[in-house]
């Protein structure tokens, strides 16, 4: 168990708020394979306050999709508060996370995401107003630095975040410049943890159960968040939970199990999506490619998947792959 503010969770292994990925179907399939806590995908504060239909649809949930947290992107404290209150109105979230980690250029140039590392006073102001007025625990997602890892600056930022009122910190072990590649800075995460009294969750390169265990051992973190490691691999949560308990790796799922799980994932996309048929098949193709990425005949399979024009055609392709 782990506590974030006044909330208690039965796990310290969370599914990350992956932009463009962590939709309801993805969360549900991960929950069925051991993910006990998840986030909605990253949501723009401005779009949420404006109640744009597409943005509100990102908050769709069902009883089986619980507990869940929300993550907001923005840089204006008052607007972020309005968005937090709007999120509470539309979803039953356990806490609200402030995204100060997204490295994408179109986000950073607007002073949002990872750019907040360079304007810590603005970040602290956002934390303070949300912690005081949102009525929910507030957390923040950070990186180890902007252009390069800077332990001194990182410690100043995490201490400032705690002083401003965060109930936990989620730290990606790479800089903004590294994006999602390069080595994870375990030492920086460890230093941040040693300078905090609130829980610290680590992320970065958690692609398997042994790598999850390495993150705990190298950093002393209180928890982890799994991101890309869950794409096409929802079993990673059971693998991690088992490995942390007994040190044993689960056998990899066979082709049949993987395709059956993919089919279930696709059925959730079909059931819960409000998009047009052409957009839905795009989501389905994307999900299918995650699961098929390391098949022996991956190249041929990818070609057939991307050529599928509808749900029924895609199922036929998958049925042939099972033979």
Pairing of strands 223-226, 13-15: parallel
Q: How open is the CA angle 73-117-69, to the nearest 5 degrees?
A: 35
Q: Give the rounded distance of the alpha carbon of 320 from its chain centre.
A: 32
Q: How far apart are CA 178 and CA 188, in angstroms?
A: 14
Q: Is 102 a catalytic residue?
A: yes
- The DSSP code for 65 is S
246: its two tokens: 């007994």
Given 21, 102, 161, 221, which residue is catalytic?
102
Instruction: Check if the beta carbon of residue 224 is closer than 8 Å to that of residue 12.
Output: yes
DSSP labels for 83-112? Answer: HHHHHHHHS--S-EEEE-----HHHHTTT-
Burial category of 77 from C-beta neighbours within 10 Å (exposed 0-12, middle 13-18, buried 19 and up): middle
DSSP labels for 307-321? Answer: T--SHHHHHHHHHHH
Q: How far apart are CA 77 and CA 82, in angstroms?
A: 9
81: its two tokens: 């508060």
Q: How far apart are CA 231 and CA 227, in angstroms?
A: 7
Please provide the distance, in angstroms rounded to a whole number, between the alpha carbons at the two ends of the chain: 43
Residue 21: CB atoms within 10 Å: 20
Q: Which residues are catalytic?
A: 102
């Amino acid at each position: 168990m782990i506590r974030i503010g006044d909330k208690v969770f039965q796990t310290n292994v969370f599914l990350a708020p992956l932009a463009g990925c962590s939709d309801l179907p993805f969360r549900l399939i991960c929950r069925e394979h051991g993910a006990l806590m998840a986030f909605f995908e990253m949501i723009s504060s401005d779009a949420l306050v404006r109640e744009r239909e597409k943005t509100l649809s990102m908050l769709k949930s069902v009883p089986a999709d619980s507990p869940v947290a929300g993550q907001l992107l923005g840089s204006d404290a008052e607007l972020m508060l309005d968005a937090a209150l709007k999120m509470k109105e539309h979803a039953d979230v356990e806490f609200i996370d402030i995204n100060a980690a997204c490295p994408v250029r179109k986000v950073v140039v607007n002073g949002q995401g990872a750019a907040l590392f360079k304007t810590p006073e603005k970040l602290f102001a956002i934390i303070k107003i949300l912690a005081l007025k949102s009525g929910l625990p507030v957390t923040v997602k950070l990186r180890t630095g902007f252009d390069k890892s800077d332990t001194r600056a990182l410690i100043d930022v995490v201490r400032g975040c705690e002083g401003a009122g965060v109930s936990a910190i989620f730290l990606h072990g790479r800089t903004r410049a590294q994006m999602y590649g390069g080595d994870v800075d375990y030492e920086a995460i460890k230093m941040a943890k040693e300078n905090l009294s609130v829980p610290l969750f680590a992320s970065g390169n958690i692609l398997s159960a042994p790598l999850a265990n390495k993150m705990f051992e190298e950093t002393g973190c209180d928890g982890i968040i799994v991101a890309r490691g869950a794409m096409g691999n929802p079993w990673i949560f059971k693998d991690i939970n088992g490995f942390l308990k007994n040190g044993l790796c689960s056998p990899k799922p066979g082709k049949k199990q993987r395709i059956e799980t993919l089919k279930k994932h696709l059925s959730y996309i079909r059931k819960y999506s409000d998009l047009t048929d052409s957009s839905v098949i795009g989501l389905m193709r994307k999900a299918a490619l995650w699961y098929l990425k390391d098949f022996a005949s991956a190249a041929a399979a990818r070609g057939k998947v991307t050529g599928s024009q509808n749900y029924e055609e895609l199922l036929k392709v998958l049925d042939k792959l099972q033979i």
